[in-house]
Amino acid sequence: MPEAVLIRDAVPGDWPAIWAFMRVIVHAGETFSWDTDTSERAARDGWFRWHGGARGFTVVAVDGDGTVFGTAECGPNHAAHVASASFMVDPRHAGRGVGRALGEYVMDRARAEGFRAMQFNAVVETNTPAVRLWRSLGMDVLATVPDGFHHPADGYVGLHIMYRRL
């Protein structure tokens, strides 16, 4: 894990550093079901959609120098009392605990903000590091949408819906 990783609310000025790795992840199309040609504008509007009053938050994981390692966004899923969240970690910093730090932070903060449960709607079943991480944070697979995701190499694979009470 990067030393002294800090998780704080994202500000507009973080966007270029976020997009630098988000574009790589989105364009690869292996873990996120966004269009692989999602525009920077659409990505930014979506990721920062909680700004401006809506209940929810967008955070970044940074080190002491301000380098952005990863990011997460969290807000209401359908109803106001169940949260959902999305996470992206710079692939150059994978396996160093950034995702876990973000996950723990988001669970705690969602609970503190009054959400009663966390639901992830689309966890690609072949993304085993993510599935293992979310399980270790208490998330269970509620259901798997058959062939819910089209992986560029593996073809159609299942999409887990994961859930835990907070």
Q: Which helix (H) or strand (E) holds 85?
A: strand 82-89
Distances (CA, A) of 32 to 25, 37, 157: 8, 12, 13
Dump the DSSP string for 94-121.
TTSSHHHHHHHHHHHHHHHTT--EEEEE
β partners of residue 163: 119, 140
Q: Does 137 bind its own copies (CB under 8 A)?
A: no
For residues 12-41, which are near its own copies according to CB under 8 A? 33, 35
Alpha-carbon span 32 to 25, nearest angstrom: 8
Q: Does 43 bind its own copies (CB under 8 A)?
A: no
Q: Does 149 bind its own copies (CB under 8 A)?
A: yes
Q: Does 146 bind its own copies (CB under 8 A)?
A: yes
Q: Does 121 bind its own copies (CB under 8 A)?
A: yes
Closest CA to 163 of 122, 102, 129, 128: 122
Q: Does 166 bind its own copies (CB under 8 A)?
A: no
For residues 44-103, which are near its own copies according to CB under 8 A? 78-82
Select 63 or 113, whichever has its Cβ closest to its own copies.
113
Least distance (Å) between residue 149 CB and its own copies = 6
Count of beta carbons in the 10 Å neighbourhood of residue 25: 16
Select 100 or 135, whichever has its Cβ closest to its own copies.
135
Q: Contact residues for its own copies (CB under 8 A)?
A: 33, 35, 78-82, 116-117, 119, 121-122, 142-143, 145-150, 159, 161, 163, 165
